Amino acid sequence: MYQSITANDLEQELKNTQLNILDVRDADAFVEGHIPDAINIPINELPEKLTSLDKEKPYTIICYAGGRSERASQFLAAEGFDVTNVMGGMGAFHGAVTK
């Protein structure tokens, strides 16, 4: 099981809290613009890079529209991670981004 928040809720949370953002878009989309300090692991690389994530940390999962992040959240939750899916993704996110 995992939680979900809206992109708007994420924007508000980031004003007050440092979150572990995991961006599961491909590398090209990530370099076009991402949330500052987000880590990028494209969804198709997630199974092989699982060991680079810390099960002691909660992760907030984002993609462009919310579909890939939902699949990534299901996968990571099944592997024992504490994850929150961002509904609407970067397409609905209006907070600060970096390139």
Name all domains of the chain by residue range, CATH numbers in brackets: 3-92 (3.40.250.10)
pLDDT number for residue 82: 98
Catalytic residue IDs:
63
pTM over 0.85: yes
pLDDT number for residue 75: 98
Residues 72/22, Cβ–Cβ less than 8 Å:
yes
User: In this predicted model, what pLDDT tens digit does every residue of 20-70 receive, in sequence order?
Assistant: 999 999 999 999 999 999 999 999 999 999 999 999 999 999 999 999 999
pLDDT number for residue 5: 98
